[in-house]
Amino acid sequence: DAGVIQSPRHEVTEMGQEVTLRCKPISGHDYLFWYRQTMMRGLELLIYFNNNVPIDDSGMPEDRFSAKMPNASFSTLKIQPSEPRDSAVYFCASSYGWNQPQHFGDGTRLSIL
Amino acid sequence: RKEVEQDPGPFNVPEGATVAFNCTYSNSASQSFFWYRQDCRKEPKLLMSVYSSGNEDGRFTAQLNRASQYISLLIRDSKLSDSATYLCVVRTAGGYQKVTFGTGTKLQVIP
């Protein structure tokens, strides 16, 4: 069974660069979530989609962050321009139905220099 | 008040001990509840869902107290491999769906 697949696993880039994180949810799951985790703030929900439609993006920190889900099997989270304070682990998760457990990908460890 | 609160710990317990964690939530519209464990530098993994009547999975027991708005996780006969951070998750439903993770409780089981 393929789980949630995220890429890249690690990303190191200089501030000001555009960063694109990718996620493939579990097939058949209709909810997709993007989270950011830091030591200081814990796990924060950035945005979630239902059937490819963004439902709640109130957690997106600012206009530099954007997320898309062009189809049921792919989503991106983009940061442009990136800043050192964006350094964190970014997780993607998916679930089948709102009340069902979320399954997480391995995460992308992002470092902005 | 935070929407979901957990004691950050760490809880240091000897092998074989019983340990319990609580997680309080503030939104009375919360409908579904889960416990996840997260190992260092890994993704959160589902430990168990929490049902209204309480549920057990081996050494793990989860309880829900709607009146006092908290969920609990009990671990019996602690193993070294139980050392991890335990996160509670609360979801509301209805007009405004929201999911919130607690900040986690760190457990260290000591030989």
| pLDDT at residue A6, as a whole number | 98
Query: Which of B29-61 are b and which e, b meaning 16 or more Cβ less than 10 Å from the residue's Cβ?
Result: ebebbbbbbbeeeebbeebbbbeeeeeeeeebb
- pLDDT digit of tens for each residue in chain A (113 aa)? 689 999 999 999 999 999 999 999 999 999 999 999 998 888 999 999 999 999 999 999 889 999 999 999 999 999 999 999 999 999 999 999 988 999 999 999 999 99
User: Is residue B106 within 8 Å of B13, Cβ to Cβ?
Assistant: no
| Three-state secondary structure call for residue B80 | helix
| Three-state secondary structure call for residue A66 | strand
Hey, is the C-beta of B43 within 8 angstroms of any chain A C-beta?
Answer: yes
| Three-state secondary structure call for residue A38 | strand
| Three-state secondary structure call for residue A82 | coil
| pLDDT at residue B21, as a whole number | 93
Q: Which residues of A touch B (CB under 8 A)?
A: 33, 35, 42-43, 45, 48, 55-56, 91, 98-99, 101-107
Distances in whole angstroms, Cα of residue B10 to Cα of each of A44, A93, B81: 21, 27, 15
Instruction: Report d(CA B35, CA A19) in Å as an integer.
Output: 32
What would the DSSP string read from start to end of B43-77? Answer: --EEEEEE-TT-EEETTEEEEEETTTTEEEEEE-S
- DSSP, res A101: P
Q: Of the candidates A35, A98, A107, which has its C-beta nearest B91's C-beta?
A: A98
| pLDDT at residue B36, as a whole number | 97
| pLDDT at residue A93, as a whole number | 98
| pLDDT at residue A60, as a whole number | 95
Percent of residues, chain B, with pLDDT higher than 70: 98
Chain A interface, best mutation among B39, B99, B106, by max A CB count within 10 A: B99
| pLDDT at residue A41, as a whole number | 87
| pLDDT at residue B79, as a whole number | 98
User: Is residue B42 within 8 Å of B28, Cβ to Cβ?
Assistant: no
Put simply, the answer to whether A104 touches B43 (Cβ < 8 Å) is: yes
User: Is residue B52 within 8 Å of B37, Cβ to Cβ?
Assistant: no
Distances in whole angstroms, Cα of residue A83 to Cα of each of A5, A36, A74, A88: 25, 14, 25, 11
Instruction: Report d(CA B71, CA B50) in Å as an integer.
Output: 8
Q: List chain B residues with pLDDT less than 50.
A: none
> Six-digit token pair at B62?
């989860």
> Six-digit token pair at A22?
């990718």
User: Is residue B10 within 8 Å of B107, Cβ to Cβ?
Assistant: yes
